[in-house]
Every structure is written in C-alpha cells, then in structure tokens.
Structure 1
Amino acid sequence: MQFLETKHKEGGTVMSALLSSYCTIITRDRASDDRFSFGAMLARGKDSAGVPAEDEGIPGHHPGSAYTGDNPGIAGALPRLKLGQLPPEATLEGDVRGELEEEDSKEDLGPGKVTLVQHFDQMIKKEEDLDAPSRSEIPYPPSTARDVAMEVQKVKENRDRFKIEGRSGGVAPGVSVCMFTFHNANQGITCMDFSGDNALVAVGMQDSYIRVWSLDGLPIPPTYPDPDDSTPKNSHRLYGHSGPVYAVSFAPSIASPDDAEVKTNARWLLSSSADQTIRLWSLDLWRCIVVYKGHAGPVWSLSWGPFGHYFVSGGHDKTARLWVTNKIRQQRIFVGHDQDVDCVCFHPNSAYVFTASSDHTVRMWSVSTGNAVRMFTGHTGNITAVCCSNDGRLLASADDHGTIILWDLAPGKLLKRMRGHGKGGIWALSWSAESNVLVSGGADGTVRVWDVAGPPSEASTGQSRVLTESGGGTKIDASSSTNAAPSQSATAAASVAGAPKSGTAKGSSAKKKKGKDAVVTADQISAFPTKKTPVFNVTFTRMNLVIAGGAYTP
C-alpha cells in the first residue's frame, strides 16, 4: 500500500481504490524477529508453490461444506459428525468377554503384562459417547460365533502388536515392509487386494478373470472335498466377468489358531468390472454366488464395510452405491459428483462413506440418510486413493501428481500436504493401528512411510529433499538463495533399520533437478524403492507389519 501511495500519479490511487473495494487487506506490523521478512514469506510460499487455495474457483463455498446451493444461510454450516467407534452389541460384548477370560486363564502372564480382558476394557468405552453413532442407525444382523471369534482375535493382535509411537526426539519409528512381486504379468494386472488373515492375495486381470494365490506358496486347503480335483493348488482362477476386472476386495477376516473350533479365515471376495456388474465369490466353493447390477457403466472401485455385510462401489456413471450382501439391489445411491467416482472407502464405524472423483473432490456421505456431510477440495490432479484413519478422525487422499493430503474430518479442514512420490499415481494408502503413521505405494515403484503428526513443514524449517530415482533424497535449504551441496546436506530418506539407504545426487551441486526428480517433504519417514515394480496395494496388518504387492515391469 505504501508503494501505491508513492505512485499515486501513475495509477496508484486507482489501484488502491480497487484493492480497498474488492480485496481484504491484512496489515502486518514489523516484529522483532524475521517472521515477516521477505525471506520468511518466500520460504512459506515454497510450501504451496503452484498449489491453489483449498476452495479456489468455487465462489461462496466454505471449506469442508458439501452444500453447493445458493442459500447463504446454510452455506457455511457443517453438520455435526459422529466419528466415535460403533458401540458393541451387548450380547456380543458378553460373549467376547467370556472367551477372553477363558484365554486369560490359560496364559502365563509375565509381570506387568496386561490381560486380554483388561485390554478389551481399554478398547471399548464404558460411558455413552455422544460422538458415536448408535447401533439403531446402522442395522446389522445378529452376531454369530464367527463374529465372536473374530473380536477375540482382534483383541489378541491389538495387545500383542508392534507399537508405533511416532516420532520422538527426531528418531523415526521403524516400519517393516513385506513385498510380494508378481512376474510375467505382461501388464495384465489391474488391481490387487490382500485378505485380512494375511493368507491370500487376489488380483484382477485385463483378461476378465480373477486369480487368487496363497501368500506362503503352499496349496490352499479345500473347505469341502472336490470330487473333480483331489490335488490342492496354490492358486485358483475365477471366471464370470465379461470385461476387465477393475477392483477386488476381500471381506473382513482375521487369522485364527489351527486348533480353533470356529475358523475366521477369508471366505468372500467381491469384484467389479467394465461389464457394469459386481460379483460376490465364495472362497469355500470358488464359485460366483451373486451378481449385483445397477451401475450404468464400468465399476471402478469397491470396499467392504469394516464389519462386513455392507459394501460400497463407485463407477463411471458418477455415482457411488451402498449394497447389502443379502439383497441384489442397492440400498443407497450417492449422487453429487460431476465426473466418475474413482475411489471409495468406509469410515471405521461404518456410519459414513467416502468417495473420490475425477472432479478433484472427495465427499463424505452419511449411510443412514444418504446425504453428503463434507466435501474436500484441494487436489489438482485426479484422485487415485483414499483411506480413513483407524481412529476415525483423519482422512488421507492421494492423486496422480504424487501428492497426499490429510484432512481433519470434524472441521473439514486441510491439515497438510505430503510429497515424495513421482507422477503417475499413488495407488494405495493404509494407516497404522495407532493412526499416527501412513504408508503409500504407487506407480513410481516405491513404498513410502509418512509421519502423520509430523515435524514442522519444510516451509518453517527451511528444509526439503529432492528425490532421486533410487528413492533417496538430498536436502535443500529453502531459506538460502542457492541450494546446499549434496556433500554437506545429503541424508537418507530411509531412516530406520531395514530401510534402503538413500544415495547422494550425482554431480557437484543440486542446483538443477532432473525431470524425474520430485521434492520430498519432511514428513517422509522412510522410502522403500523396488526394481521397476509399480505398487498396486499396501496394507498395514493389525500387528503393524506392512504388506505390499506389485507387478514387475521389465
């Protein structure tokens, strides 16, 4: 403004009047430090360089609001969300407690070790939580013996898991990744999913079929005797679709002891295809049981609800649909996106569904009402993955520009952007059990681990990294006018035991970045590069081990 006042004869008066009439002017007083210096402002700007404001191009829209009408009275009002965990069924809780007490009586607990019943009490809330949905809002069938056995196993694995505490004193938590690489795929694999019991992997193929393998390579034991084939195999092919298979999803399951009376292994698999259908497959019979029809175009994405019974799909017809396994017609149709619905997922309490579209928005829908309760805008590329945290408070979404965005669901705000992947798409996201670490995998052939709470952004610390083709990185001092030499600032992107060490960039300086290089934000904990293997799926197990899978591309 002072500059315009000094140039009042050259049009400064007109510009001042326009700014005062149509712009909000924020005045900053000089501080004793350099927070408002030109250098500090330029450093802050580097964090969002080339990234538009969260709601740029949407006149009158408020961040997080799903309302797109012209009524200003309700435009900024955000419906209150129920993000707490779904309270357990009273009968189920009693049965689980009885089983856990029996298991505790068999265990020889060491000093200071928590019993299963004590851990179960810590996992569930005794008092009524106003922030949680009621069981009457989301109808479920009565619990079965399998449900009880699954809950018992969940308590065991949650207690005995490898705990990830997040960053502490600059030391990143160690995360291990088990990578499964598929050879001779000839670019025929389109999608992949791992079963919850960590025993099976299913892939969808361009040739219209599905193939399921055992992860340990051993023959898959038959549930029922097969008179036509007495020799068990380590894989099965499922035929039925008449177009490329774009999504596969295992029903919730968990590993059970060998001597368990009730088995909790994977029994059901969903698949969707370009033929506009969704198929439910029995893994006991290896046959298609139900064909669901309703979408008017290819079905791009599928996701089971956290407790089974429900599942959601998204397709080319710009809609997402909620289904129940025992009914062939959809129960809800979520309409509002302007383009294809590419990714879908459930909230952990199953009260909400998330959809991501080619229109660059993510929407949050209420299962009970079918209405949109949140809309998140901020991506500049096509959204390729979306995943909600296990505590139900945060949402992660990723796009084909290699950017991951974290959203705070309650206020509908963008928390931060994390970068490190190359372009081509981040195809999978998964959260740790504690919801403090995120893992991602994509077309650049790397698996990356991210600190959700994270250190201060690189804009405030003045540090970021340039990613090399090997997955490593070289730090750049953003506060200086020239980049530091690699010999002075090269660091390993993988900072934990078992992670591949990053190399320094070639050359005497890092002034120029190659076209293949990407900036890595300080939120990245570690990077695991593969040898030309795009990563189709990454999954945090309940024990906090990461399982990843991809197809080698020679």
Structure 2
Amino acid sequence: MSAPGGGAPSPAPRSGSIGPNASMPVPQQQPIAANPPVVHTPTTPGPSGPSPAPVSQQNLNQIVIDYLAKKGYTRTEAMLRMESASQDIDGRSLPQLNENQRPKYRNGFDLLKSWIEDNLDLYKPELRRVLWPLFVYSFLDLATALYPENAEQFFTANKNLFLPEHSEDIRSLQKITLPEHVQDNATAKLYRGNKYRVILSNPAFSNLMQFLESKSKEGGAVMSAILSSYCSVVTKDRAADERFSFAAMLGRADQTSTFPAEDEGIPGHHPGSAYTGDNPAMAGTLPKLRLGKLPPEPELESDVRAELEEHDLKDPPAPGRNTLVQEYDQMIKKEEDEDAPSHAEIAFPPSTARDVAMEVQRVKENRDRFRIEGRTGGVGVACSVCLFTFHNTYDRMICTDFSDDNMLVAAGFEDSYIRVWSLDGKAIKATHEGVEEHTSTPSNSKRLFGHSGPVYAVKFAPSAQRSEGEMAPTNARWLLSSSADKTIRLWSLDLWQCMVVYKGHDQPVWDLSWGPFGYYFVSGGHDKTARLWATDRIRQQRIFAGHDQDVDCVCFHPNSAYVFTGSSDRTVRMWAVTTGNAVRMFTGHTGNITALACSRNGKLLASADDHGSIFLWDLAPGRLLKRMRGHGKGGIWSLDWSVESTVLVSSGADNTVRVWDIAPPAPEPSANTARLATETGTGAKVDANTTSAAAQPSSTVGPGGGKKKGKENVVTPDQISAFPTKKSPVYKVKFTNMNLIVAGGAYLP
C-alpha cells in the first residue's frame, strides 16, 4: 500500500535500484544433500505425522500443578510447587535443606567473602565477581525451601555489597519470600533458567576450589554445589587471554567494583556471539560482518560527479583544499580490507533528483566541516554545545529530535500531540512556493494531532541544508512518530498531515530510527520485538525477536545492512537486515539500556544505560573496548558520534552534556585514576584534566565497603569535557554534518 498525497519519502543516495515496490530479497536456501530418505513404518495404527517433542520435567510439573489448582487441591499443589522449585537447571533434584543445613549458606558465604578480602590483590577483582551469583542462588534456594526469615536475613546482610552495580536485580529480588514468588518473579526465573557464566584465571579458580574443599563442613560444600549446579565456570590461561596477564591484573588490583565482564553473566555466552544454546560446536561462533560502506549505484554516482564538476568550475576551491570531486572520491573510496554489502542484497527505489542534490550538499559539508581529530597531548578538543531549552513543558515533554538541515526541532508530549518549531524562530518555510497558502497561515511552530496516547519517539527523515541553485529541495519533509497507542505515524512536513499509519506492534512502541538513506526504518516496543519497515509498505518487512524484555532503543548501521537493539534484559543485539538473524550479542550492562549509536565509519557501537555507564564495542570481533563513566543515575538518553568517529557526545537525566575520547582502551577507574565530579550548575565547561577544588576523595562500593556519599560520580579519564545545565535534563544531543553539537532539553524548575 502506497502512502497517499505524494507517496512516501524518496530515498537518499544508495545502491541497488530494484524498484519501489520490490520486496526485501531473501537469500536462497542451500540445497539439501541428496541422501535417500529413511522411512519409518508405524507399529500401531493411526495417522502418520511427526512424533511429539519430549516434555521436560519442569513442563510436566507445571501441567500437573495447573491440574491440581483447577481441581482445588491447594495443599498438594503447594507441596509440588516447592519440590518443583528445588531442581537445578538440568532437572536434577537438589538436596532438601534441614535444620542443620540452613545456617551453612550464610556461613559459607561469609567465609568466602572474608577469604577473598584477605587474598592477594592480584586475584581480588576476579574473585569478587564470583560473590554475586553465589549470593543470588543462595537467596533463591533459601526462599524456595520455605525459610523466609533466613532468606531475608541473608539478603539484608549482603545486598549492600553489590550496590550500585546490581541495584536493579536487588530491587526485583528483595520482594521474594516464598517459593511462589520465585516461580513468578521475572528476574528469579531468568537466573534459575540460565547458568551464570563466570570467567576466572586458572590460579584463581584452583585457589577458590581448594579453599571451598578445606571448609567443606563449614559451608564450603554448599558454595561448591551452587557453582556446580547454577554456574558455568570458564577458566582461562594467562597466555591465552590478555585480560589475565600480570600487567592487566596488576592494573585492576585496586578495583573494588563487581561489574561483570562482557562475556559473563546471564545469558552466559562467548564474547559477541549471539548463540546461547548448548551445542559446543556452535559456541562462540561469530558470523563474518560486512561493515564497509554501501557503494552508490552507478547512475547516482555519475549524476553526482557531474554536478560536483559543475560546482568546481563555478566556485574553484582555495589553494590547498580539495575540489568537490576529490572529496567525493575520498568519501566513496572502499578500504581494501573492508567487505561491503552488494547492490542486490538490499532493495531500494530508484534515485531521484533530490537524492543527487542531497549527496552534493553532503560532499560540500564534509569538505568544509570543523575537523575533530580527538584528544592530543592530553588537551581536549575544542567542542562547544548549542543547547535549546524548552520552557513551560510542565514535565510533559517525552522526546525531541533535530532535523539534519538544522532548521526544525520536534517534540512529543504526554498529551498525544507533536509540536514542531523552527530553530531560528522565524516562520517555517514551505518546501514549494504556494503550498503554505493551502495549508495554514505562516507560523514558527506547528502542531500534529492523531495519536491517542503519549508520543514516545519522533524522528526526522534524512535531509540536508538547502543551498542556492539546488536542483531539488533537500530540506526535511517527513517525520516519524511512535506512541503508546501501538502505532507509528508518518507525517508530511509539506502538508502538516499524517500520511500513513503503520500497525504491527501489539504493545506501546518505545523508539524509532530511520535508515541512513531514508527508505527503511526500524522500531522497538514493549512486545519484546523490533520491526523493520519500508515507507511505501504498510506491513513490516522483518521482525527481530529474541530479547527477553522490552526493546527500548534501536539504531541502524551506516550501510543499512544491520540493525541494533537495546533491551531491558541488559543485552544489545545486532541483526542482519537481509536474513532477520542475530549476528552479535553484547552483554555487560548492569542497568536497562537507554541509548545506542553506531559510529559513522561503521566499526564501533556505543551503548548507554540508566546507571550512567557507556560501553564501546568493536563490532567485528564482538569485544568490549572500554567502559566510560561520568553521568549520574537516571539514564543517558542520547548518544552521537563525530564525523570522524573519534569523539562521542552524550546527554541525559543528570542535566549534562558530556564529550568523550574514543582513542585507545582505557583502564577501569581506580583510586589513582578516578576522580569525582560535582556539577555546580553554573553552565561552565569542566575539562577532564582539571581537578575541581570542590572535588572530594573517592568513596566507592565494594565487598566489605559502605555506601557512596552524596551525589558524587566517578568520572573516567576518557571524558574530555562536561557541560552542565542548571535544571534542564537533556533529551537529545547531536553532531551536525559540520561537526557542531546541538542539544535540546526541558527546563524543570
């Protein structure tokens, strides 16, 4: 179904002219080997068909429990629930606790905790990470065995050891007191249904097991049983993994946090691998990625080159500067070691005059941009931020976005409407002369009505600044919005009306992201799925399913071949557009993921969570590059990359915009390198290499430590600068194509 009133937005430069109505190509299936089929003759009469799948012990128990509940046998149901919960992941029954065994959970945990604190500083950081799964599974076992008082005492005595790293899980688990709660709690089911993956060096693991064996009667046997039943302990040799070399371990010697590594936790998996099954042959498989630039289609490239040659003749460049044609050749140049998607893999409509004009404008901006080469000699780059503040929103503004032509800003509200302003305060100009006469009177803002619930995301389609003598208008003409009413709407910014309503999600839609060429877009929602859409098709083209919780944020890869999703299950997944399969999965976040951004060179991904941490991932090997901290709690709501992919900018609920260096991996914050930043609200720039007179000694939380004091935040050395506002949470931050930073926030007195 095509969008009425002029059709869907025309795409920007891309490859593969297949046609606007062509569906997404699907790779051909590999032929099955020509082996003779094996025919099984049934021994009993009856209709032929596939044999039923075996029923697991846990599923069988649940069927019996449902039957007992239906018949009213409540006491028998309660007993079966308790016994059913006392099984490990493999279905084997765990030994029941008696009066003498109950104290051994706490005794064993306390002994292990004291032993770790008295251990060599070389092994403390990795051994401390073992305490978290032992704490969770000990508490769940006590609650399952109907010892609520012991479970509550154990939980209360040890929960502060794991704050703030695991605050979300602790908040969820503290409600558990009975076996029924274990069965119904989402976090408990996640831990009981998966083995917690722990990575230890060989010496640390040997010392741990020797200690537990020596303290077998005092509770060591209980801790060993938990490690055996609920954990998957992977040992690494120092020579095989650089993380366990002496240099790396000495660098982490004074680390007190218990953040899991990227290949630890739930679901346990190899770094970057999206496979979480039990097949050893598939464990750690990493499909080869095609991260290169999508080459332009030949007709578009020739048209753009002709336009650029004409511009070079009219306005020759200054001495020492590239011509527009030379700049274009550098932009589309393919690296020798890069593998890019082909023209036939991703379907796009034919190019238009607008596509040519937009590409010409992009080449101009790329040549004339302010260049950011990263931090050199310890001096931060000269970044500044232009912040637009919204007043009188009464805390009802949910989202905002800036157009690529730097002319418009849109905001979505709880009151189900969208409002669009001109950034210069002047009347919004019409794309074509005479259109404004048939729509409404000139104004510096417009309201869009149509949603029946709060608007959670607004996104402008790709555009470019208008220039004199352009062959077609390149300004922003389309806007997408998503809402609690389960729909996505496409709005025309020429007519200021809704053109298409996309329906597919059966729960609220949290986030949207346009593809880089303005034809495809992706959405994520409360139904735990992300969906790929084409603007001229009313139904989704792909459904990306696999997350255990809501898909809270989404983004595209610059070559349109991949989609990224961030979820409340604390994982980030990378999906192939052509097949709909997950090709990477990144774990390590301890909070809900709130923002994603892929670098413009297509090699790195930044993900942020509501605990104030930013993770940088190397896509090809699927490994964590580094973790950066500086934001306060409440969520990092927006991320964006500079044109060179050397600088990252972030903003969030702590009323700040922060600029980060993406140069080599940095060590975790320690007593020597970490510092505490206090935001004074004066609007001054805070450089990462200057120490504020108001900064106080660091007070972190670790095993045996206390709570943090005040509202001070640990800031890693990767932060180049921070720009605090007075009382304005910053909803959106963005690098323009000229490498200028614009941001938008609402003043909340």
Whether these two folds match at TM > 0.5 is: yes
**Cα distance change, pair 60–144 in 1 and its aligned pair in 2 (3 A):** same
1:487 alignment partner in structure 2: none
1:261 alignment partner in structure 2: 471
SS in structure 1 of the partner of residue 674 of structure 2 = strand
**Contact 1:209–1:238 (8 Å) recurs in 2:** yes
**Cα distance change, pair 423–63 in 1 and its aligned pair in 2 (3 A):** same
1:463 alignment partner in structure 2: 673
What amino acid maps onto 1:403 in structure 2? Answer: S
1:505 alignment partner in structure 2: 694
**Cα distance change, pair 188–492 in 1 and its aligned pair in 2 (3 A):** closer
SS in structure 2 of the partner of residue 74 of structure 1 = coil
2:529 counterpart of 1:309: no
What is the 5 A alignment of 1:376-455?
Answer: 376-454=586-664
| Equivalent in 230, 235, 253 of residue 24 of structure 1 | 235
Distance in 2 separating the partners of 1:461 and 1:417: 16
2:278 counterpart of 1:70: yes
**Contact 1:494–1:528 (8 Å) recurs in 2:** no
1:494 alignment partner in structure 2: 687
**Cα distance change, pair 95–414 in 1 and its aligned pair in 2 (3 A):** same
More strand per residue: 1
| Equivalent in 535, 540, 544 of residue 739 of structure 2 | 544
**Cα distance change, pair 417–13 in 1 and its aligned pair in 2 (3 A):** same
SS in structure 2 of the partner of residue 75 of structure 1 = coil
Offset of residue 368 of structure 1: 0.4
**Cα distance change, pair 519–333 in 1 and its aligned pair in 2 (3 A):** same
2:729 counterpart of 1:519: no
| Equivalent in 414, 429, 432 of residue 221 of structure 1 | 429
Superimposed CA distance per residue, residues 211-247 of structure 1 (whole angstroms, 9 cap, x where no aligned partner): 0000010000234444577631000000000000000
Offset of residue 433 of structure 1: 0.2
Question: What do you get for the CA RMSD once the two structures are aligned?
Answer: 3.1
2:413 alignment partner in structure 1: 205
Distance in 2 separating the partners of 1:353 and 1:37: 33
SS in structure 1 of the partner of residue 687 of structure 2 = coil
**Contact 1:167–1:454 (8 Å) recurs in 2:** no
**Contact 1:471–1:502 (8 Å) recurs in 2:** no
**Cα distance change, pair 130–416 in 1 and its aligned pair in 2 (3 A):** closer
Superimposed CA distance per residue, residues 61-93 of structure 1 (whole angstroms, 9 cap, x where no aligned partner): 211111122221112111000000001110000
Distance in 2 separating the partners of 1:426 and 1:458: 19
**Which range is displaced more, 396-405 or 457-466?**
457-466
1:486 alignment partner in structure 2: none
What amino acid maps onto 2:253 in structure 1? Answer: L
Superimposed CA distance per residue, residues 197-223 of structure 1 (whole angstroms, 9 cap, x where no aligned partner): 010000000000000000010000234
Superimposed CA distance per residue, residues 384-427 of structure 1 (whole angstroms, 9 cap, x where no aligned partner): 00010000000000000000000000011111100000000000
What is the 5 A alignment of 1:118-517?
Answer: 118-125=326-333, 131-222=339-430, 223=432, 224-227=434-437, 231-454=441-664, 456-457=666-667, 459=669, 462-470=672-680, 493-494=686-687, 503-505=692-694, 514-517=709-712
**Cα distance change, pair 23–121 in 1 and its aligned pair in 2 (3 A):** closer
1:110 alignment partner in structure 2: 318
Distance in 2 separating the partners of 1:93 and 1:219: 36
**Cα distance change, pair 37–156 in 1 and its aligned pair in 2 (3 A):** closer
Offset of residue 35 of structure 1: 6.1
**Cα distance change, pair 99–4 in 1 and its aligned pair in 2 (3 A):** closer
Distance in 2 separating the partners of 1:345 and 1:104: 35
2:16 alignment partner in structure 1: none
Superimposed CA distance per residue, residues 521-546 of structure 1 (whole angstroms, 9 cap, x where no aligned partner): 00000000001100000000011000
**Cα distance change, pair 277–107 in 1 and its aligned pair in 2 (3 A):** same
**Cα distance change, pair 109–8 in 1 and its aligned pair in 2 (3 A):** closer
**Cα distance change, pair 460–111 in 1 and its aligned pair in 2 (3 A):** farther
**Cα distance change, pair 441–349 in 1 and its aligned pair in 2 (3 A):** same
Distance in 2 separating the partners of 1:520 and 1:325: 42
Superimposed CA distance per residue, residues 29-52 of structure 1 (whole angstroms, 9 cap, x where no aligned partner): xxxxx9669975523x34xx1211
What amino acid maps onto 1:504 in structure 2? Answer: A
Offset of residue 130 of structure 1: 5.6
Offset of residue 511 of structure 1: 6.5
**Cα distance change, pair 526–455 in 1 and its aligned pair in 2 (3 A):** farther
Superimposed CA distance per residue, residues 321-340 of structure 1 (whole angstroms, 9 cap, x where no aligned partner): 00000110000000101111
Offset of residue 12 of structure 1: 7.8
Offset of residue 110 of structure 1: 2.2
What amino acid maps onto 1:302 in structure 2? Answer: L
Distance in 1 separating the partners of 2:293 and 2:287: 18
What amino acid maps onto 2:379 in structure 1? Answer: V
**Cα distance change, pair 74–163 in 1 and its aligned pair in 2 (3 A):** same
Distance in 1 separating the partners of 2:458 and 2:669: 40
Distance in 2 separating the partners of 1:366 and 1:10: 47
What amino acid maps onto 2:725 in structure 1? Answer: T
Distance in 1 separating the partners of 2:207 and 2:315: 78
TM-score (norm 2): 0.65
Offset of residue 55 of structure 1: 3.0
Q: Percent identity?
A: 66
Offset of residue 438 of structure 1: 0.2
SS in structure 2 of the partner of residue 148 of structure 1 = helix
Compare CA radii of gyration and give the structure with the larger one: 2
Offset of residue 194 of structure 1: 0.4
Gaps of 5+ in 2: 1-202, 240-244, 701-707
Offset of residue 119 of structure 1: 0.9
SS in structure 1 of the partner of residue 549 of structure 2 = coil
Offset of residue 514 of structure 1: 3.3
Distance in 2 separating the partners of 1:380 and 1:54: 11
What amino acid maps onto 1:341 in structure 2? Answer: V
**Contact 2:409–2:422 (8 Å) recurs in 1:** yes
What amino acid maps onto 2:718 in structure 1? Answer: D
More helix per residue: 2
TM-score (norm 1): 0.87
Superimposed CA distance per residue, residues 84-129 of structure 1 (whole angstroms, 9 cap, x where no aligned partner): 0001110000000000000101123222111111111111126887
What amino acid maps onto 1:429 in structure 2? Answer: L
**Which range is displaced more, 226-235 or 179-188?**
226-235
Gaps of 5+ in 1: 29-33, 473-490
